[in-house]
Structure 1
Amino acid sequence: MTELVGTCPVRHGSHTSMEAGPKNWWPKALNLDILAQHDTKTNPLGADFSYREELKKLDVEALVADVKELLVTSQDWWPADWGHYGGLMIRMAWHSAGTYRIADGRGGGGTGTLRFEPLNSWPDNANLDKARRLLWPIKKKYGNKISWADLMILAGTLSYESMGLKTYGYSFGREDLWGPEKDTYWGSESEWLAPSDERYENVDEPETMENPLAAVQMGLIYVNPEGVNGKPDPLKTAAHVRETFARMAMNDEETVALTAGGHTVGRTHGNGRAENLSPVPAGANMSEAGLGWNNHVSRGVGKDTVTSGIEGAWTTNPTQWDNGYFELLFKYEWELRHSPAGAQQWEPINIAEEDKPFDVEGTARQNPIMTDADMAMIKDPVYREISERFYNDPEYFSEVFARAWFKLTHRDLGPRERYIGPMVPNEDLIWQDPVPAGRTDYDVAAISQRILDSGLSFTDMITTAWDSARTYRDSDKRGGANGARIRLEPQRSWHGNEPERLNRVLAVYEALSAETGVSVADLIVLGGNLGIEDAARKAGVEVSVPFHPGRGDATDEWTDADSFAPLEPVHDAFRNYLKKDYTVPAEELMLDRASLMNLTAVEMTCLVGGMRVLGTNFGGTSEGVFTDTVGALTNDFFVNLTDMLYVWEPSGFNLYNLRNRTNGQVRFTATRADLVFGSSSILRAYAEVYAQDDSKEKFVHDFVAAWTKVMNADRFDLVAA
């Protein structure tokens, strides 16, 4: 046999090409990757690592001192503007946290994913890779006792302190992921900074932006600083700013405070030629050492840096927390000009020399600048009124900003009970979804009997418990059964909660709560558990569903009803529910819901199969109820799903018949969310396990484990502090 001299032994592209792989070959195949984003095999710290335990070893005082020293220690390879890295670190923290959106709770700084693509290479995040490299010596020193997610937010907060702001507080507790968040949808555009029109039904109506998106263009955190689609128009920009910040759960006052406070310090960079920059980190050569946007043609650092393309500082003293932003904004008239890089920016007319900030090297004064969003703060009537209030009361502005910054950087950390460290403020805030502690000193067996004697059906008990708990979102740790907000508006009236049935069940639980002092939240979960135990018993399996008392009942006064509206389940495959017909297939919606609930593909499979035979479909429909013994926790769903006796045939939108091959009779009806467990090769593999004759008990025990996980998803008090 002749040897092929010089042939490379590696099959180029077979493992690394983005064009290769089943999803590209068969684009309609169901992609389950979003349910595997927390795969322990990707975590270099091991399954036994506990970040909360490591935090107990952290010398917080020493860490704070080291960060503050770093802020004023300029490095030759990336010199600090005016000798202070505060502006850069604030931008890094802001852009880490600022991707959060309330529609699905995804994004935000809670997992440190700014380190990974696509965020690492977003145009709006240019040169933030340098900020993290500057922090690396501190991360290296403190190791696993401080996560990147915590360190980035801490660096921004301490930057404000270093420049004179009295901050509201800070909490540790953000645990790093070790790759991109696979379930976060950033938009469908195929190019960076594509026109905004692509994500709006009508770009002139900001509320028509595609959900769950919050930024106006692919690759931006918020809005285009030069105006909508790069066309300056402060009033039009104001409308987009308002919608974008509302999708981050910020009101008008918080929006003005954050805009002004973010631009009180630091500067923008556009004093050079953008075409001289190397590619973004994801596209850069290996010799760039993982960094992007490097300039090997001209100096490219300090005053010659190019980031946004806009050039200049907003205030006279950009390393000091003061009221300079509003002082300049109201003192001068502003006109459109162009930066050296060609970007459109607003500059003052006839500004006094002493009001001009120095360039970053302190050698010459230059004009301050404003973006189109800044001009919106005085052109929009509502924003102007707020801006005038802040201008006339600097202390009030500082207080509102400090609280808004805290909200921005902590929104996706979850409720206050998850906060850690000596800088945690004592005050409860409504956006933290506070829930009072419930009783734990009662006789669970006696209360269980009271529930059993109440006249509620087991289906009512199971369904109500599920509806209460299914609102949990692991993305921002909101929702769940604790607090029993299902008995409050807006949840009590949600279509998917079947208000008429729900109110009947809640009346029983509320009366029992009044008699016993046990929270409605505990009664709801306990009732669901009793229903599961009965269903398992009917299937011939004795099982005890774990129950942990201590849930409390939230109040209307401490429930931000508006921010709870996005938690409404407009689809729930576990109860075979769609609020309306959607263009996205039911099985894709199911994956999104399961991902938000932090379920694995196996847990999702087990729960759907169990909920079907329990008879918990929305409205009592029969789709997917592949059993003759409804109410018994059998594996019948999987047995009949995998039985070749039945032919599947479409019968309407999202509907199918299972017809007997022998006699031609329709035996069962189903939805796509049912049949995908038999058509998807991966999900069918799981379904076949549960369909086996030797899996009847395994199915019950697996269902109980998954059910308990859902019921306790928001019981952060059960996690070791």
Structure 2
Amino acid sequence: MHGNDVKNSGVCPVVHGANTSMEKPVTRWWPNALNLDILHQHDARSNPMDPDFDFHEAVKSLDFEGVKADVRALMTESQEWWPADWGHYGGLMIRLSWHSAGSYRLADGRGGAGSGNIRFAPLNSWPDNASLDKARRLLWPVKKKYGNALSWADLIALAGTIAYESMGLKTFGFGFGREDIWGPEIDTYWGSEKEWLAPSEQRYSDLSDPSTLENPLAATHMGLIYVNPEGVNGVPDPKKTAAQIRETFSRMAMNDEETAALTCGGHTVGKAHGRGAVDNIGDAPEAAPMDEQGLGWSNPGQHGEATNAFTSGIEGAWTKDPIVFDMGYFEMLFDHEWHQVKSPAGACQWEPVRIKEEDKPVDPTDPSIRHNPMMTDADMAMKVDPIYNEYCQKFRADPEYFKDTFARAWFKLTHRDMGPKANYMGPDVPKEELIWQDPVPKGSTGYNVDAVKAKIASSGLSNEDLITTAWDSARTYRGSDMRGGANGARIRLAPQKDWVANEPERLAKVLAVLEPIAAEAGASVADVIVLGGNVGLENAIKAAGFKVDVPFTPGRGDATDETTDSDSFSVLEPFADGFRNWQKQQYSVSPEEMMLDRAQLLGLTGWEMTALVGGLRVLGANFGGSKHGVFTNREGQLTTDFFSNLTDMGNSWHPLEDGTYEVRDRKTGKTKWTATSADLVFGSNSILRAYAEVYAQDDNHEKFVRDFVATWNKVMNADRFDLSA
């Protein structure tokens, strides 16, 4: 047999696993290597749409009323392959929308309904999302019909809203405009556990204190959206469950009243499914055999009957009329005594001690049969916790207030990660502007920009002060939930004006100069802060011998204390900023990993991050005037010195006991500069070094300036949703 002849050798002609494994080969062999994949996870190569496709333009052409009518009709068109409970898919579609939105957490803005991420692993195969693959497949004819103008993300969020409307709730509204992603979100940390539903102790430092839940996590277990419905670690105790609910929902941006409304309103309709043995249920979608075609959790014992569906293992409906949005949940919960039982699948749940036969819900398939209702430990928490109980009694006494409170909370749940109202599209966008939407009034565009620039230039503020203030104002933006950024100039309001990262004393000095300039010109402070950064940058570019204009688009507005939810904004506080070579304290995560996280939230690519860091170093933009990483003798000029000196083999690099480094002349041993790992990673990481070498080349000085300016402008305008509305 010839060396290349494998036809009859019995050897597979492809490399096993190399092209299909989720495990990255670099980090498999070198687990401490900095993985830059999160900066390139949704690049153009993964997007099947045409390069000139504009989703938001496409949405404007969508037949909104037609979509809603088709989704509404789907609710009561029970299909044999997955029959609906009581002939109505409302409960299933609500759960789909809820679990899509419910992965959102306030700490980093990741998760949520805004990208259609529930279609991909790991979310599509979480134990808590069992059978939601069926809901998505039921919606496919609607998605197929309306095509590119209707994203999966919008359709999934809409399904639950239409479900509630079809069951009698007057909803608060709906906004289209969520754009789909085309692969898993590898930037999201869901926990360190190696198994689904592992004991909660693995993510709490003290399970008796829910506030010790590891940040940025919100759910109590790997694979759950919120809390364990059977109780803490599966042990029923409504008081303990209430404490976990409070912490979890607060981390998902909900207060106690909203939490109570969502729990009660969510369980006013639908049912849980746990009839049969869990051992009979097939693998989740990601592990299911190919012939299942993307579906998971096969149930050979279902026999085409809704009654036999299996999801959580808990079994039963909460109310007498599970396809009607009414006050039945409160009547059931508070008018009965409850005791612990086990579901047919062995899950812990609660049932009434005594209940009349006519008050029981009928079987989802056979209306001649009635079953006991049930409550989860989370439901019992609404009864035993004094704060939740008080809200429940208020709701029960005023049904219209309950319905309105729930409708608003549902709207918040399904829209929280869409950012400001400018991102909402369609005829059902509420006119009312809500504080959690971070409202910013429209700013003026009629002032003389050149005159303002001239006043800033003659103000006496240094280029470094202007550049760092603009950067600090804009860097809070996070694309995960489209919050933060320079628009609104919230850097001058609490809590941002007092953040250590913003150097409050320096910030106050700069604002004291810029605010009068804005007032005199009729411009917003937000515009003038960004314009000031541009002025400083243009001066630095000119000093380096180049002529490159820094783009500027006026129209930012100024937020007020009244339109700023200061508690909600506290989670945006930076505790590290590799771009300014600063961190508040030493963390278990390296400075370069924290910088990478910030770059991803800002929407930067690897080369954009590289250009920004190298430029900000030579501009002298470090926190507190630190000289770490300022590899230049021309500080204040936008040069490529950071890269040329980093890659110069005439230098050597030496770690110090405090975790920093010295850069020494290789011949003389003289210390030339100091650095942090957030500097030297651009020389040690093979990918970042490749970018650094591009900018260190003799023919790329002007390219670097142009790239820096383009990236700077991208960050300054990251939150200008008004420009694309």
After TM superposition, the score normalised by the length of structure 1 is 0.99
> For 2:469 and 2:302, how far apart are their aligned partners in 1?
65
The correspondence of residues 679-718 of structure 1 with structure 2, limited to 5 A, is: 679-718=684-723
Name the SS of the counterpart of 1:557 in structure 2: helix
Aligned pair 1:623/2:623, yes or no? Answer: no
1:426 CA drift (Å): 0.3
- Residue in structure 1 matching 2:410, options 405, 415, 422: 405
- Residue in structure 2 matching 1:547, options 552, 555, 564: 552
- Residue in structure 1 matching 2:126, options 117, 122, 126: 122
The correspondence of residues 581-592 of structure 1 with structure 2, limited to 5 A, is: 581-592=586-597
- Residue in structure 2 matching 1:82, options 79, 82, 86: 86
Determine the structure 2 residue equivalent to 1:487.
492
Determine the structure 1 residue equivalent to 2:265.
261
Determine the structure 2 residue equivalent to 1:101.
105
> For 1:365 and 1:83, how far apart are their aligned partners in 2?
16
Q: Which region of structure 1 is more displaced relative to structure 2, 115-124 or 647-656?
A: 647-656
Determine the structure 1 residue equivalent to 2:454.
449
1:72 CA drift (Å): 0.4
- Residue in structure 2 matching 1:164, options 165, 168, 190: 168
- Residue in structure 2 matching 1:675, options 666, 680, 684: 680
Aligned pair 1:63/2:67, yes or no? Answer: yes
> For 2:51 and 2:334, how far apart are their aligned partners in 1?
56
Letter in 1 for 2:653: W
Determine the structure 2 residue equivalent to 1:520.
525
- Residue in structure 2 matching 1:50, options 35, 48, 54: 54
Letter in 1 for 2:233: N
Determine the structure 1 residue equivalent to 2:42.
38
Determine the structure 2 residue equivalent to 1:415.
420
Determine the structure 2 residue equivalent to 1:342.
346
Determine the structure 2 residue equivalent to 1:650.
655
Name the SS of the counterpart of 2:351 in structure 1: strand
Name the SS of the counterpart of 2:562 in structure 1: coil
User: Are 1:249 and 1:563, in contact at CA under 8 Å, matched by a contact in 2?
Assistant: yes
1:642 CA drift (Å): 0.5
> For 2:142 and 2:21, how far apart are their aligned partners in 1?
35
- Residue in structure 2 matching 1:393, options 398, 403, 408: 398
User: Are 1:317 and 1:324, in contact at CA under 8 Å, matched by a contact in 2?
Assistant: yes
Q: 1:716 to 1:340 in 2, by over 3 A?
A: same
User: Are 1:300 and 1:306, in contact at CA under 8 Å, matched by a contact in 2?
Assistant: no
Q: Which region of structure 1 is more displaced relative to structure 2, 47-56 or 169-178?
A: 47-56
Letter in 2 for 1:46: D
Name the SS of the counterpart of 1:346 in structure 2: strand
1:654 CA drift (Å): 3.4
> For 1:165 and 1:699, how far apart are their aligned partners in 2?
56
> For 2:144 and 2:519, how far apart are their aligned partners in 1?
55
- Provide, for residues 479-534 of structure 1, a one-character-per-residue CA deviation record: whole Å limited to 9, x for no partner: 00000000000000000000000011111112222322211101100000001100
Determine the structure 2 residue equivalent to 1:380.
385
> For 1:291 and 1:517, how far apart are their aligned partners in 2?
58
> For 2:619 and 2:452, how far apart are their aligned partners in 1?
23
> For 1:691 and 1:532, how far apart are their aligned partners in 2?
20
Letter in 1 for 2:386: P
- Residue in structure 2 matching 1:367, options 372, 375, 380: 372
User: Are 1:14 and 1:20, in contact at CA under 8 Å, matched by a contact in 2?
Assistant: no
> For 2:232 and 2:418, how far apart are their aligned partners in 1?
31
Letter in 1 for 2:625: G
- Provide, for residues 346-403 of structure 1, a one-character-per-residue CA deviation record: whole Å limited to 9, x for no partner: 1111112221111101231111111111111111111111111011111100000000
User: What number of residue pairs does the alignment pair up?
Assistant: 720
Name the SS of the counterpart of 2:561 in structure 1: coil
Q: Which region of structure 1 is more displaced relative to structure 2, 1-10 or 421-430?
A: 1-10
- Provide, for residues 438-459 of structure 1, a one-character-per-residue CA deviation record: whole Å limited to 9, x for no partner: 1100111111111112111111
- Residue in structure 2 matching 1:565, options 566, 570, 576: 570
Letter in 2 for 1:624: G
Name the SS of the counterpart of 2:375 in structure 1: coil
- Provide, for residues 456-482 of structure 1, a one-character-per-residue CA deviation record: whole Å limited to 9, x for no partner: 111100000000000000010100000
Letter in 2 for 1:28: N
Aligned pair 1:238/2:242, yes or no? Answer: yes
Letter in 2 for 1:98: G
Name the SS of the counterpart of 2:267 in structure 1: helix
> For 2:669 and 2:147, how far apart are their aligned partners in 1?
66
- Residue in structure 2 matching 1:356, options 354, 360, 363: 360
Q: 1:632 to 1:171 in 2, by over 3 A?
A: same
Aligned pair 1:279/2:278, yes or no? Answer: no
Name the SS of the counterpart of 2:155 in structure 1: helix
- Residue in structure 2 matching 1:507, options 489, 512, 515: 512
Name the SS of the counterpart of 2:673 in structure 1: strand
User: Are 2:301 and 2:308, in contact at CA under 8 Å, matched by a contact in 1?
Assistant: no
Letter in 2 for 1:626: F
Aligned pair 1:229/2:229, yes or no? Answer: no
Name the SS of the counterpart of 1:336 in structure 2: strand
- Provide, for residues 413-450 of structure 1, a one-character-per-residue CA deviation record: whole Å limited to 9, x for no partner: 11001110001000010000000111100111111111
> For 1:187 and 1:644, how far apart are their aligned partners in 2?
41
Structure 1 gap segments, 5+ residues each: none
After TM superposition, the score normalised by the length of structure 2 is 0.98
Letter in 2 for 1:92: L
Determine the structure 1 residue equivalent to 2:213.
209
Determine the structure 1 residue equivalent to 2:501.
496
Name the SS of the counterpart of 1:264 in structure 2: coil
Q: Which region of structure 1 is more displaced relative to structure 2, 159-168 or 59-68?
A: 59-68
> For 1:482 and 1:636, how far apart are their aligned partners in 2?
32
User: Are 1:276 and 1:298, in contact at CA under 8 Å, matched by a contact in 2?
Assistant: no
Structure 2 gap segments, 5+ residues each: none
1:716 CA drift (Å): 0.8
1:300 CA drift (Å): 6.9
1:296 CA drift (Å): 2.5
Aligned pair 1:293/2:297, yes or no? Answer: yes
> For 1:527 and 1:538, how far apart are their aligned partners in 2?
17
Determine the structure 1 residue equivalent to 2:138.
134
Letter in 1 for 2:415: H
1:8 CA drift (Å): 2.3
1:124 CA drift (Å): 0.1
> For 1:653 and 1:300, how far apart are their aligned partners in 2?
66
- Residue in structure 2 matching 1:29, options 20, 29, 33: 33
